[in-house]
């Protein structure tokens, strides 16, 4: 086991009252591989500095704006190793570009950017600069998702025929964006969020999860979007039919108005010889059903799991792991990928198969295709002769 000093983490966004920044802070701490040392935490400079002080940061490394963070950190001997971008979607591209141009590695929230143009430019920049750009597709951090991925690749269910993936949420079932909910306000503003409402916010997670586990590449899609809450400018429900290369089919549902679902991410993969099912509210279990066999529960922590799942497991079976550990696995993976690159060696399993800029670009391309499909006037809708 290699031991070395923790990597220095900077953060943009994620200040007082923000959602995902705190998850990044908790997750990055879990394995001692990162230490939060600098930040421009808020769009309001003063609030950001107050927040940094509450986090115990060196006041000299608490910045009013990300541009100040870049200018000051570049000149430091102990400069941050990477910066996490935890801001609304439309700011990801300018912030990431400025960081990469200044030579920093980046950990960026999904969707990678708010527009396809920006996603293409950012992926190109990441590739050409050689900087590390990790994307926090949370669900690819779960050990049992990796287990499913390994088993599908091993051929345990044969060729995949169909994939059902869904991400239903209920929190936007009413117009909370009009009642002061900050997160809902920018998510329903096309300029800040991008063109895809539910599909950009959570459909991107589902799309990544399905492709990650099956290894299938999307060939084409057709989509039907709906906005159920009056006055909302973006979709809050999306149904997407997908055709994968090689003939497999997929069905993706994302919804922000699915009452009764707090965070109901569910993946079902059906192959010629069996199926796998994974549900994020029971993340320690993978359900395997072989053709003409019995339903089997594969549990996290078991001795016979793959190296990929084991590398992402901290506690024995029966001591549940969940969301924070999955997010921490992404951070551990990013640290390992960055350190392996510094050491010019292959990363250990935890640093392999982490979501990168190209995965982020694919997610944004998916969203754009979904919205294009929905808006296309030649979308075939056939009314049956009897209804
Ligand atoms: P939020 O609205 O709760 O927080 C945004 C934060 O960014 C606030 O602190 C705000 O002051 C700050 N900010 C905005 N512009 C800034 C700037 N120019 N410089 C510095 N700080 C700035 O948003 P939330 O819900 O935390 O989402 C942030 C990002 O994380 C989004 O891209 C979202 O899609 C993603 N997200 C990802 C999740 C995951 O599972 N991976 C879950 C939730 C959100």
Q: Which atom of ligand 1 is nearest to the CA of 44?
A: 11
Per-residue pLDDT band at 130 (split at 50, 70, 90): very high
Question: Rounded to whole angstroms, how far apart are CA atoms 113 and 92?
Answer: 6
CA of residue 312 to ligand 1 center, whole Å: 26
Question: Rounded to whole angstroms, how far apart are CA atoms 203 and 237?
Answer: 9
Question: Rounded to whole angstroms, how far apart are CA atoms 144 and 278?
Answer: 8
Q: Whose CA is closest to atom 31 on ligand 1?
A: 88
Give me 378's structure tokens. 């030649």
CA of residue 300 to ligand 1 center, whole Å: 31
Pairing of strands 105-108, 218-226: unpaired
- Alpha-carbon distances, residue 24 vs 9, 10, 108 (angstroms): 10, 11, 11
CB of 231 closer than 8 Å to CB of 143: no
Q: Which residues contact 312 (CB under 8 A, 6 or more apart)?
A: 141, 142, 143, 146, 325, 326, 329, 332, 350
Q: What is the pLDDT of residue 2?
A: 60
CA of residue 113 to ligand 1 center, whole Å: 12
- As beta bridge partners, residue 163 has 250, 269
The candidate with the shortest Cα–Cα distance to 222, out of 240, 208, 206, 205, is 240
- Alpha-carbon distances, residue 89 vs 22, 104, 116, 168, 271 (angstroms): 17, 20, 12, 20, 36
CA distance from start to end of the chain: 65
What phi, psi does 112 have (nearest 5°)? -50, -45
Chain centre to alpha carbon of residue 210:
12
> Quick check: pTM over 0.85?
yes
177 lines ligand 1 (CB under 6 A): no
Question: Rounded to whole angstroms, how far apart are CA atoms 280 and 1?
Answer: 30
Q: What is the pLDDT of residue 377?
A: 74
- As beta bridge partners, residue 106 has 83, 133
CA of residue 91 to ligand 1 center, whole Å: 9
40 lines ligand 1 (CB under 6 A): yes
Question: Rounded to whole angstroms, how far apart are CA atoms 166 and 373?
Answer: 19
3-state secondary structure of 98: helix
Give me 363's structure tokens. 């997610």
Q: Which atom of ligand 1 is nearest to the CA of 182?
A: 2
Give me the torsion for CA of 288, 293, 294, 300, rounded to 10°.
Answer: -30
CA of residue 24 to ligand 1 center, whole Å: 11
Burial of 358 (0-12, 13-18, 19+ CB in 10 A): middle
Q: 């109901």: which residue's tokens?
A: 264
pLDDT at 1 over 60: no
pLDDT at 370 over 60: yes
Burial of 386 (0-12, 13-18, 19+ CB in 10 A): exposed
- As beta bridge partners, residue 164 has 251, 268
Q: Which of 20, 24, 200 is the best mutation target for the ligand 1 pocket, counting ligand atoms within 8 Å of the beta carbon and taking the most?
A: 20
Question: Rounded to whole angstroms, how far apart are CA atoms 334 and 351?
Answer: 6
Per-residue pLDDT band at 3 (split at 50, 70, 90): low
325 lines ligand 1 (CB under 6 A): no
pLDDT tens digits, 203-241: 999 999 999 999 999 999 999 999 999 999 999 999 999
Give me 35's structure tokens. 């230490």
pLDDT at 379 over 80: no
42 lines ligand 1 (CB under 6 A): yes
3-state secondary structure of 373: helix
CB of 138 closer than 8 Å to CB of 322: no
Q: What is the pLDDT of residue 99?
A: 98
175 lines ligand 1 (CB under 6 A): no
Q: What is the pLDDT of residue 305?
A: 97
12 lines ligand 1 (CB under 6 A): yes
pLDDT tens digits, 9-62: 999 999 999 999 999 999 999 999 999 999 999 999 999 999 999 999 999 999
CA of residue 191 to ligand 1 center, whole Å: 15
Give me 125's structure tokens. 């920049």
- Alpha-carbon distances, residue 95 vs 66, 92, 112, 256 (angstroms): 7, 5, 11, 27
DSSP for 178-196 reads GTT-HHHHHHT-HHHH-S-
Q: What is the mean pLDDT of the chain?
A: 97
CA of residue 13 to ligand 1 center, whole Å: 6
Question: Rounded to whole angstroms, how far apart are CA atoms 146 and 375?
Answer: 35
pLDDT tens digits, 155-202: 999 999 999 999 999 999 999 999 999 999 999 999 999 999 999 999
Chain centre to alpha carbon of residue 71:
28
Give me 178's structure tokens. 């009009």
């Amino acid at each position: 086991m290699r031991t070395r000093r923790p990597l220095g983490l900077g953060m943009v966004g994620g200040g007082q009252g923000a959602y995902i920044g705190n998850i990044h802070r908790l997750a990055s701490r879990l394995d001692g591989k990162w230490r939060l040392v600098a930040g421009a935490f808020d769009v309001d400079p003063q609030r950001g500095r107050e927040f940094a002080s509450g986090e115990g940061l060196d006041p000299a490394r608490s910045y009013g704006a990300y541009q100040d963070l870049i200018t000051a950190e570049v000149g430091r001997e102990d400069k941050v190793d990477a910066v996490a971008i935890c801001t609304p979607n439309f700011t990801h591209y300018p912030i990431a570009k400025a960081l990469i141009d200044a030579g920093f590695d980046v950990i960026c929230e999904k969707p990678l950017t708010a527009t396809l143009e920006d996603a293409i430019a950012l992926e190109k920049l990441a590739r050409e600069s050689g900087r590390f750009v990790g994307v926090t597709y949370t669900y690819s951090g779960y050990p049992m998702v990796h287990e499913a991925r390994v088993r599908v690749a091993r051929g345990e269910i044969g060729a995949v025929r169909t994939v059902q993936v869904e991400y239903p949420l209920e929190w936007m079932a009413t117009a909370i964006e009009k009642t002061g909910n900050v997160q809902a306000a920018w998510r329903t503003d096309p300029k800040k969020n991008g063109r895809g409402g539910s599909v950009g916010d959570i459909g991107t997670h589902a799309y990544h999860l399905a492709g990650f586990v099956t290894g299938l590449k999307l060939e084409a899609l057709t989509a039907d979007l709906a906005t159920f809450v009056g006055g909302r400018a973006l979709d809050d429900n999306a149904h997407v039919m997908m055709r994968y290369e090689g003939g497999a089919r997929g069905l993706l549902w994302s919804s922000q108005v699915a009452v009764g679902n707090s965070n109901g991410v569910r993946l079902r993969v059906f192959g010629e010889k069996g199926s796998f099912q994974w549900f994020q509210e029971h993340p320690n279990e993978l359900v395997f059903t072989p053709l003409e066999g019995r339903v089997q529960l594969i549990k996290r922590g078991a001795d016979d799991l793959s190296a990929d799942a084991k590398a992402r497991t901290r506690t024995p079976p029966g001591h549940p792991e969940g969301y924070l550990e999955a997010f921490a696995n992404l951070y551990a993976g990013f640290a390992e990928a960055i350190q392996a690159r510094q050491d010019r060696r292959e990363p250990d399993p935890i640093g392999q198969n982490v979501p990168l800029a190209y995965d982020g670009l694919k997610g944004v391309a998916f969203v754009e295709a979904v919205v294009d499909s929905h808006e296309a006037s030649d979308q075939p809708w056939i009314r049956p002769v009897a209804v």
